[in-house]
Amino acid sequence: MAESDDALYDRAVAAFRSGADDQAASLAEELVRDASAAGRLPGKVDGLCMMARVALRRGEYQRVAELAGEARDLARSGNERRLERIPLHMQAAAARMRGDLGPARELYLESIELNRQLGDDRMVAGEYRNLAYVELHDGHVARARDLFSSSAALARACGYDALEPYLLLDSATLALEAGDAASARQLLKQTSAGFAAFGQVPDPDDAAELERLRGRLSMSPGA
C-alpha cells in the first residue's frame, strides 16, 4: 500500500529536524511526485515547502523563493488560504536571510495577519519572533523586545512547547543587547540543551542567529 501524503511529509519533517537534509529532500521530492500524479494539492504544496526548507538551510535563497512562490501560487489557485501559510513563511525567511529587511518585514506582517485570521496561534507566535529579528537587525531594539515578549507570551498560552528552545535563544539575544554577556552565555547553554532535549537542529534562520550570538559573545569581555 502506498504511503500517504501526510506520512511522507511527517517523515520529511522528522528528517529535517534531525539535520538529515538529503533524506528530507528526497522524501519531499517523492511527495511532490506522488501528489502531483494524483492531483492532491495539499501534498504537493507540503512537498514544495519542505524542499524550500532544505534549500534555505543550504543557502540557496533564490531556489527558496522559486519553490515557495510555486507553492503559494498553487494554494491560491485552489483557493486554499490555509495552504498559503508555510509558503508565505518561507518567502519571508528567504528575504530575511538575504538581508532584505524591508520585504521580509512586509511578508512577516502578512503572515501574522493571515494566521490571525485562520486562528493559528502557534504560527503567530513563531512569526512574532521572526519579525523581531528583522526589527533588531534594522536597529529597532525596543520594537524587537516587544515582539519577543508577545511571542513568548502567546507560545506559552497556547502550549507551544517546541518553541521553548527558540524562546531561550531570543532571551539570550536580548540579554546581550542589554549588555549582560554573563546572562546571555547562561541562556545560550540552556538554548543548546533545549534543542538537544527536543532532538532538533535549529531552523536555518535561527541557526544563523545562534551563530551570530556566539560570534558576538566570543568577542565580549569574559569570553
pLDDT for res 221: 72
Residue type, 25: A
Closest CA to 179 of 119, 214, 129, 221: 221
pLDDT by residue (tens digit) across 96-131? 999 999 999 999 999 999 999 999 999 999 999 999
For 158-206, write each residue's pLDDT tens digit: 999 999 999 999 999 999 999 999 999 999 999 999 999 988 889 899 9
Residues 6+ positions from 126 with CB-CB distance below 8 Å? 89, 151, 155, 160, 163, 166
What pLDDT score was predicted for residue 111? 98
Query: In angstroms, rounded to a whole number, what is the distance separating the alpha carbons of residues 152 and 97?
Result: 22
CA 138 to chain centre: 19
B/e letters for 5-44, b = 16+ CB within 10 Å, e = fewer, are beebbebbbebbbeebbebbbebbbebbebbeeeebbbbb
Q: For residue 152, give the nearest of 136, 139, 171 by alpha carbon.
A: 171
Distant-in-sequence, close-in-space partners of 189: CB < 8 Å, separation ≥ 6: none
pLDDT of residue 223: 56
Mean per-residue pLDDT of the chain: 95
Query: Has residue 1 got a pLDDT over 90?
Result: no
3 pLDDT higher than 90:
no
Please, is 165 exposed, middle or buried when counting C-beta atoms within 10 Å of its C-beta (0-12, 13-18, 19+)? Answer: buried
Give SS3 for 220.
coil
Which set of grid coordinates corresponds to residue 183?
A: 546572562
Distance CA 165, CA 44 (A): 30
The Cα-based distances of 55 to 25, 66, 72, 104, 196 in angstroms read: 9, 10, 16, 17, 23
- Taking only the tens place, the pLDDT of each residue in 46-89 is 999 999 999 999 999 999 999 999 999 999 998 999 999 999 99
pLDDT(34) > 60: yes
Determine what percent of the chain is predicted with pLDDT higher than 90.
Answer: 93
pLDDT over 80 (residue 148): yes
The yes-or-no verdict on residue 222 having pLDDT over 70 is: no
User: pLDDT by residue (tens digit) across 4-17?
Assistant: 999 999 999 999 99
Q: What is the pLDDT of residue 200?
A: 86
- Pick the more confident residue, 220 or 174: 174
pTM, two decimals, is: 0.93
The answer to whether 46 and 9 have CB atoms below 8 angstroms apart is yes
